[in-house]
């Protein structure tokens, strides 16, 4: 059995990764749109299945935590929330008898997901101010000053006072659509080049994130 399992080590995974990747890359160069659609359709099922498997793994980890430590209240809350949301969403979709008086998936999203999400964003407003202040006090340099100055100018320009003034609008346009566009484009191209390099490393077998 051990020998059988060891046969499935990285070489086999690498062969699958490289061959599937090369076939997929070929569909970008050659007129093979139909083949690309079939591969993508199947891979989307696999990716969605991987997500579900990942969620089950999360569930298993927290079940283990509850078993080991009876005081793991957070894990217990997570397990209950996960299972209830999962069951309720599927029941609502596939059965016609889900009662109106019970909270459905819309209720869970409206009254739990959205409030926590926007409250977390609200907390971020406080932490961002703290982070900006720390940049100035702890790492003062010409570039941190430029960062804070740009931040202040952009914030002032987006107020009613800034929008009413022609100078404010001109400065805002030059910073946002001129200087920042250049930096943003450089960062976007850099990210794309990094993605290509990482992808090619996987397709050449240098990186094996699938195991082994």
Partner 1 sequence: MLIEMTLLDLIGMLVSFVLTVLVLLYAFDDNALFRVAVYLFVGVAAGYASAVALKDVIFPRMFGLERDQLLLVLLWIVLLAMKLSPRTARIGNPAAGLLVGVGAAVAVGGSIQGTLIPQVLAAGDFFAPSLMRQSFQAGFAGQGIGYLIRGLAILVGTVATLAHFHFGAKPAPNQIPQRYHLIEIISKVGQFFIAVTFGVIFAGIYSATLTALVERLAFIYQVIQLFISGL
> What is the footprint of partner 1 within residues 117-156 (CB under 8 A)?
117-129, 132, 143-144, 146-151, 154-155
The minimum distance between CB 95 and partner 1, in angstroms, equals 12
What are the φ/ψ torsions at residue 167 (nearest 5 degrees)? -65, -45
**Under 8 Å between Cβ of 92 and 105:** yes
The H-or-E segment that residue 82 falls in is helix 73-94
The minimum distance between CB 66 and partner 1, in angstroms, equals 12
Euclidean distance between CA atoms 16 and 4, whole angstroms: 18
Euclidean distance between CA atoms 119 and 139, whole angstroms: 29
Long-range CB contact pairs, 114-123, < 8 A, 24+: none
The minimum distance between CB 98 and partner 1, in angstroms, equals 13
**Under 8 Å between Cβ of 11 and 192:** no
The minimum distance between CB 57 and partner 1, in angstroms, equals 6
Which residues in the 35-64 window bind partner 1 by CB under 8 A?
39-53, 55-60
HEC assignment per residue over 31-75: CCHHHHHHHHHHHHHHHHHHHHHHHHHHHHHHHHHHHHCCCCHHH
Which residues in the 5-34 window bind partner 1 by CB under 8 A?
5-6, 8-10, 12-25, 28
DSSP state of 110: I
* Residue choice 31, 34, 70, 93 for contact with partner 1 (CB under 8 A): 93
The minimum distance between CB 36 and partner 1, in angstroms, equals 9
Total residues contacting partner 1 by CB under 8 A comes to: 128
* Residue choice 37, 64, 98, 103 for contact with partner 1 (CB under 8 A): 103
* Residue choice 95, 97, 101, 167 for contact with partner 1 (CB under 8 A): 101
The minimum distance between CB 189 and partner 1, in angstroms, equals 5
Which residues in the 164-203 window bind partner 1 by CB under 8 A?
174-193, 195-196, 198-200, 202-203
Q: Which is nearer to partner 1, 59 or 164 (CB)?
A: 59
């Amino acid at each position: 059995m051990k020998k059988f399992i060891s046969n499935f080590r990285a070489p086999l995974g690498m062969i699958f990764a490289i061959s599937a990747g090369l076939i997929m890359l070929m569909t970008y160069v050659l007129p093979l749109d139909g083949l690309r659609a079939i591969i993508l359709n199947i891979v989307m099922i696999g990716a969605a299945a991987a997500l579900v498997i990942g969620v089950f793994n999360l569930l298993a980890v927290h079940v283990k935590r509850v078993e080991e430590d009876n005081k793991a209240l957070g894990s217990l809350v997570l397990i209950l929330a996960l299972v209830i949301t999962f069951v309720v969403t599927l029941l609502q979709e596939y059965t016609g008898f889900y009662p109106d008086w019970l909270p459905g998936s819309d209720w869970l999203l409206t009254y739990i997901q959205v409030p926590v999400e926007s409250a977390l964003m609200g907390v971020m407003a406080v932490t961002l101010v703290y982070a900006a202040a720390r940049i100035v006090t702890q790492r003062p340099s010409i570039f941190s000053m430029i960062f804070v100055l740009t931040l202040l100018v952009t914030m002032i320009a987006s107020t009613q006072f800034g929008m009413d003034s022609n100078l404010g609008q001109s400065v805002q346009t030059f910073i946002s659509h001129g200087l920042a566009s250049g930096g943003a484009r450089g960062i976007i191209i850099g990210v794309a080049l990094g993605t290509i390099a990482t992808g090619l490393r996987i397709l050449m077998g240098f990186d094996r994130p699938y195991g082994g």
